[in-house]
Structure 1
Amino acid sequence: MRNIKLTIEFDGSGFHGWQIQGELPTVQGALEDAIARLTGERIRVIGAGRTDAGVHALGQVANFHTRSKLDVSQIGAALNGILPRSVYVHEAIEVALDFNARFAARTRRYRYRLLRGRSPMRRKWAWEVPFVFDPQPIRDALRTLEGRHDFTSFTLHALEQHGRVATILDLLWQDGPDECVLEIEADRFLRGMVRSIVGTLVQIGRGKLAVEDLERILEARDRQEAGPTAPAHGLCLLSVSY
């Protein structure tokens, strides 16, 4: 038995998220189908990040166990010849049998892109924000989110399996003339957490919420207190660290 670690890029536009959902197209399903064609084995692929429908990835990490004798240097290219063009394996390496892409991950880093106005070329991978917003209060609000908090107010899932506490290790807001970017790194993410944070920050930038409201929202542990959920297509999983 061997354990193969994959680093994967994908365009999430045509997928119903990472995790297998019956007959719906998912990234995990596409990978498992490709591996079955390559090795003749029906195996389960473990992903580091279980992204929602429409979310993209530049550096998703996954692993699978196989009895195949195929040289690991050929696995990535062979899978890329089978996978749809919206999924690409950048690297395939053999790792220890007990490596688990999800549970061994120390941090995950996401990027969210926001457009000031319309862009037909970029709208597939960024949120065309239909409001004018001021980035300065958004930058001021980031300090409140850093560190260890209960993020119940920023999750879409009422029953998180492993609790709702997470530690945000890094937050970076970048302004451009027509595009803004938020990068966020944490030890774990709740479902919809990044998009809920982005939606709330935009409300702060619009003046609908004050910077000081963030502490109240965190303490409330109530999703209704935070801002709306930003669209999925602006979000991208950048990297996973081990």
Structure 2
Amino acid sequence: MRYFIRFAYFGKAYHGWQNQPNAITVQQVLERALCTLSRQEISVIGAGRTDTGVHAKEMFAHFDVNTTLKAEELVQRLNSFLPDDIAVGEIFQVTEEAHARFDAKERTYEYWIVQKKNPFYKDTAHFVWSPLNLDDMNKAASIMMEYDDFECFSKSNTDVKTFICQIKQAFWEKREEKPVFTITADRFLRNMVRAIVGTLLEVGMGRMEPEGIRPIIESRDRGKAGVSVPAKGLYLTKITYPETIYL
């Protein structure tokens, strides 16, 4: 039987989601907890990878077991067993063909900026001291949605077969004096959101006009885009699945 698990994590202590040799990851910690509590070997397949230090307010993974699980009881036991920076929200059975990664229709990320020194955002947001023009940043973000090839925002030397992504929304807003960028797409390239934010910050600080984002995207050259902003300000916030996977 196949189950989905919905969980969240604070990424500071982890080298991203996906298992790596000689590095602690969220997948490794979650698998170890599931194996220990269920007393069987369990491998979890995540909805995607997140980089070192990136946080997830909502993440999904699937796993297979041979017996029916007492889902609510397992959630409570997992949360008692897992470290404080990983929390399980629910576990539910899905169809045998359901896949946490390949069946995801949309993913949404947020990036948080702070513009005043605040010790409570030290590990959760990127500090930018320069004034930002959010109107110009939103103009550039809307231009970005006219395109679908985002190789210029992809990490170099990746093994992806296509750089095509369909962006559904991309905008900046102020939340409690904190500029927040929200972006939703059917898929994301490695380092894509952090590179986009770094480029839009160039617009916001007046170093580039909003229309300047066009030649960057059309160049397909990572070197033309802005620097990648720190991982600590990035949050995976929502993953959407079709109703057909649910039982």
Displaced runs of 4 or more, over 6 A? none
- Count of aligned residue pairs for this structure pair: 241
Counterpart for residue 187 of structure 1: 186
Deviates more, 1:49-58 or 1:67-76: 67-76
Counterpart for residue 18 of structure 2: 19
Distance 1:12 1:152 in 2: 26
1:1-242 paired onto structure 2 within 5 Å: 2-176=1-175, 178-242=177-241
Distance 1:177 1:31 in 2: 34
SS in 2 for 1:81: helix
- Residues 9-49 of structure 1 show CA distances to partners (whole Å, capped at 9, x for unaligned) of 10001000000011311110011000110112222211112
Structure 1 residue 132: deviation in Å? Answer: 2.6
Structure 1 residue 176: deviation in Å? Answer: 4.6
Deviates more, 1:42-51 or 1:230-239: 42-51
**Taking every aligned residue pair, what percent have the same amino acid on both sides?**
35
Does structure 2 retain, via aligned residues, the 8 Å contact 1:160–1:190? no
- Residues 155-208 of structure 1 show CA distances to partners (whole Å, capped at 9, x for unaligned) of 114334231110100112102563100110000000010000000000111121
Distance 1:238 1:76 in 2: 20
- Residues 42-67 of structure 1 show CA distances to partners (whole Å, capped at 9, x for unaligned) of 22211112110100011111111112
- Using the size of structure 1 for normalisation, the TM-score is 0.95
Query: Which AA in structure 1 matches 2:133?
Result: D
Distance 2:22 2:110 in 1: 29
Query: Which AA in structure 2 matches 1:106?
Result: K
- Residues 95-133 of structure 1 show CA distances to partners (whole Å, capped at 9, x for unaligned) of 111111000000000011000121101221110113332
Distance 2:29 2:186 in 1: 27
Counterpart for residue 244 of structure 2: none
Distance 2:121 2:48 in 1: 24
| Shift in alpha-carbon separation, 1:93–1:42, aligned structure 2, 3 A | same
Does structure 2 retain, via aligned residues, the 8 Å contact 1:117–1:178? no
Distance 1:84 1:229 in 2: 29
Query: Which AA in structure 1 matches 2:190?
Result: R
**Larger strand fraction of residues:** 1
Does structure 1 retain, via aligned residues, the 8 Å contact 2:134–2:173? no
SS in 2 for 1:170: strand
Distance 2:124 2:234 in 1: 7
Structure 1 residue 148: deviation in Å? Answer: 4.3
Does structure 2 retain, via aligned residues, the 8 Å contact 1:147–1:169? no
Does structure 1 retain, via aligned residues, the 8 Å contact 2:18–2:25? yes
Deviates more, 1:5-14 or 1:145-154: 145-154
CA RMSD of aligned residues (A): 1.4
Distance 1:71 1:147 in 2: 47
Structure 2 unpaired stretches of 5+? 242-247
Distance 2:24 2:146 in 1: 36
- Using the size of structure 2 for normalisation, the TM-score is 0.93
Distance 2:176 2:168 in 1: 27
